[in-house]
Chain A
Amino acid sequence: MKILVAEDDGTSRMILKAMLQKAGHEVVAMENGRMAWDAWRIEFFPVVISDWDMPELDGIGLCRQIRSKGDERYTYMILLTARGGKANYLEAMQAGADDFLTKPADDDQLLARLHVAERILGLRRQMKQLEALLPVCAWCKKIRDEDGKWNQMETYISRHNSDMRFTHGSCPECAANFLKQAGLAP
């Protein structure tokens, strides 16, 4: 996977980068949250591993920035920090982190969490693909919903997009057919 690392301590950054590369990941490592944010905006990274305490923009700020972007593609965020405790964990989760690990990172544990990240990102991709496939009746054009019921197209769309409203009219072809069947046109 392509992983963006944000870590201000040079020693920790070098070790983390080497460990991830050894595991076969493609790694870009930045010195602080601001630089990581700039890198993320230029190039999409499915996984970000960030320290918490960094100058300019900290890990929590980086989480919030990435989540506020509301990108269609999901970035799995792991906070890797020397901070521990429930309060910090909860703050990280509220900021949009997906995972929280305390330093020093145990290699096996971090790689296991990356497997989880890979699995979640894969499921999300699969879900997006399924969402993009609508089962439509070839004849009447009704759409099958999640419960297996067939709905008129308007009903289905209204239920899935509350902002959508319909106005009904006739296209020229249908209008001509209707008039012909009603004997009102030659």
Chain B
Amino acid sequence: MNAMTEAPSASSLDRAAIARLRALARELDPSLFAEIMGTFLDDAAKYRTALRSAMDAQDAAALEHTAHAMKGASMSIGALALASISAQVEHAAEGGTLSLIPPLIIDIEAEIRRVQADIALELSAPA
């Protein structure tokens, strides 16, 4: 394979999902794309805090519910890796194997930072 044809670094955001959201904003309201991304970042921060609190309290139900919510929000903007790690937390919480979750929360926090950076790039790019 020719190395020159490979993408230098993959975005944390699925291109098709971003294109769909941009098209939606173009047709309805140009500010909608930024609003959706802003709402996602607010929600992600809220879910991250809730995951930490639920982990401290060893609350499996709250971990499962919050991870499920994080998964749904991530999928809706095309943050597929974040959705995938959230699903792992959800399954671990559902199965009661809470010991698996702390490193996954660290992964979620790192992935949120990647998504945040990619959203900033998207917002600075022309629609």
Contacts and interface: CB of A to CB of B under 8 A. Distances in A.
| Prevailing SS type, chain A contact patch | helix
Interface residues of B, number: 24
B11 interface: no
Contacts of A14: 32, 35-36, 39
Given A10-B43, A14-B36, A14-B39, A104 B69 contact: no
B73 interface: yes
B24 interface: yes
Contacts of B75: 82, 103-104
Contact of B73 (A11, A18, A22, A53): A11
Nearest to B36: A14
B65 interface: yes
A18 B34 CA distance: 13
Contact of B24 (A9, A11, A15): A15
B28 A11 contact: no
B84 interface: no
Given A9-B76, A12-B73, A14-B36, A22 B27 contact: yes
Given A9-B43, A9-B69, A18-B32, 4 more contacts: A9-B72, A14-B35, A15-B21, A18-B28
22 contacts: A9-B69, A9-B73, A10-B39, A10-B42, A11-B43, A11-B76, A12-B76, A14-B32, A14-B36, A15-B24, A15-B36, A15-B76, A18-B28, A18-B29, A18-B36, A21-B28, A22-B28, A82-B68, A82-B72, A82-B75, A104-B17, A107-B20
A-B pairs, 3 with minimum CB distance = A11-B40, A104-B75, A11-B73
Interface of A: 8-12, 14-15, 18-19, 21-22, 51, 53, 82, 103-104, 107
